Amino acid sequence: MRFSASFSVLFAFVSYAAAQSAEWGQCGGIGWTGATTCVSGTVCTELNSYYSQCLPGTATTAPSGGSSTTSAASAPSSTATVGLAVAAKAAGKTYFGSATDNPELTDTAYVTILNQTSEFMQLTPGNSMKWDATEPEQGVFDFSGGDQVVNLAKANGQLVRGHNCVWYNQLPSWVSGGSFTAAELTSIVQTHCSTIVSHWAGDIYSWDVINEPFNDDGTWRSDVFYNTLGTDYVPLALQAARAADPNAKLYINDYNIEGSGAKATAMLNLIKSLQSQGVPIDGVGFQCHFIVGELPSTLQTNIEAFTALGIELAITELDIRMTLPATDALLEQQKQDYQTVIGACNAVEGCIGVTIWDYTDKYSWVPSTFSGQGAACPWDENFVRKPAYDGIVAGFQS
Ligand code: XIL
């Protein structure tokens, strides 16, 4: 009796819940078995063949973003039938993931896709674990932004890459403008790394302990760390991170090391030197902020050169930008380029995962950083999958 009563309550709830989707809820798409009608004041709008969503408006009124939705329908789009993380897993990779940032997490349509583990098995906070966010004043720590991303990832069952402990950029002025003795800065670096790494200990798959240590010619970047401590800041930070979370994989991350050349050689030599000194180093991050049609031709051989050192390698910040406006030809080349990058990772066992530097053009860092450029991500600004999406899937299937 008791069972059947609760069962009918449950049944009533389920059938009610399945009747209509809420505003911003999913209302259709391949594989979708839930409600296909929307609550009043919203209209079920096909964003792509996998995802229809209840957007504000009525059937006779264009939904918000309606004009671009219309134009997107005629633009080349994606037809792949498998999620990006599903494709990565099938290829034997540990994850496929995306960067995200705290302000974006109020955008329900954005979060709905970010939460899909068929697409993303891993998140990287784009800003909220950086030094200016986590220790804005000496000894005053703020974990709130990082916690929000970590808690979202935990709720979804997604891995997290910590980004980052030591970087010349986005430093609070008390660090960048300080004039410290070597002993003082040693203690500051140790305290910072050990405090943030231990705060998230157990929740982080890998940490970018050191970010962007080199100039493009392979010389050391001149910053407060190098200028005060020489190269010693690198082992210092790695050892502090290891002590704070023995299970996190410790990485050094950089750009323009993806193809062979002076900067890649400097990074290879740094890793060899750390290994010979017994300093903990588990991985190298290739950022991969690329330009359509301009990939380094030595990407795969260079991935092989790094993984031959016995470390793992991750593609940590992939995006492939173009000069705007996006044309069909550029979008097609972008698809090929995404496929080439993913294919290079796919071909080398030690390349363990790929993170895109946000999944949608709506929140890409590119337009505000590289004037006149954009459209770098696999989803457009209206959350419609681009041909680039299919390039990623094809890369994992190559
Ligand atoms: C970028 C963020 O995406 C932006 O929001 C921020 O304004 C600047 O930093 N290499 C890195 C990342 O290691 O931390 C950078 O992220 C992009 C380049």
pLDDT for 356: 99
Distance separating alpha carbons of residues 193 and 252, to the nearest angstrom: 14
pLDDT of residue 207: 99
The answer to whether residues 316 and 286 touch, using CB atoms and an 8 Å cutoff, is: yes
CA-wise closest residue to 264 among 228, 307, 322? 307
pLDDT for position 53: 72
Give pLDDT < 50 ranges for the chain: 1-18, 59-73
Q: Give the pLDDT score at 64.
A: 35
Q: What kind and span of H or E run contains 209?
A: strand 206-211
- What distance in angstroms lies between residue 366's CA and the mean position of ligand 1's atoms? 9
Q: Which residues of 102-134 are buried (b: 16+ CB within 10 A; e: fewer)?
A: bebeebebbbebbebeebbbbbbbbbbbbbbbb
Q: How close is the Cα of 122 to the center of ligand 1, in Å?
A: 17
Q: Whose Cα sits closest to atom 7 in ligand 1?
A: 365
Residue 204: alpha-carbon gap to chain centroid: 14
List the catalytic residues. Answer: 212, 317
Rounded CA gap, 235 and 242, in Å? 10
Q: Which of 290, 316, 357, 360 to mutate to test the pocket of ligand 1 (most atoms within 8 A of CB)?
A: 357
- Which ligand 1 atom is nearest residue 99's CA? 3
Pocket test of ligand 1: the residue of 101, 127, 284, 287 to mutate, having most ligand atoms within 8 Å of its CB, is: 127
| Pair 79, 49: CB distance under 8 Å | yes
Task: Name the 3-class secondary structure at 65.
Answer: coil
- In this prediction, residue 65 carries a pLDDT of 34
* pLDDT at position 15: 32
CA–CA distance, 84 with 121 (Å, rounded to integer) = 9
The pTM (predicted TM-score) of the whole model is 0.84
Which residue, among 321, 312, 248, has the nearest Cα to 286 in the 3D structure?
312
Measured from the Cβ of residue 264, the count of other Cβ atoms closer than 10 Å reads 23
User: Strand order in 51-56's β-sheet?
Assistant: 26-28, 51-56, 42-48
Cα–Cα nearest to 175, from 145, 134, 126: 134
H helix runs in 200-292, sequence order? 224-229, 233-244, 262-276
User: Residue 48: what pLDDT?
Assistant: 56
Q: Could you tell me which of 142, 138, 235 has the C-alpha nearest to residue 188?
A: 138
pLDDT of residue 358: 98
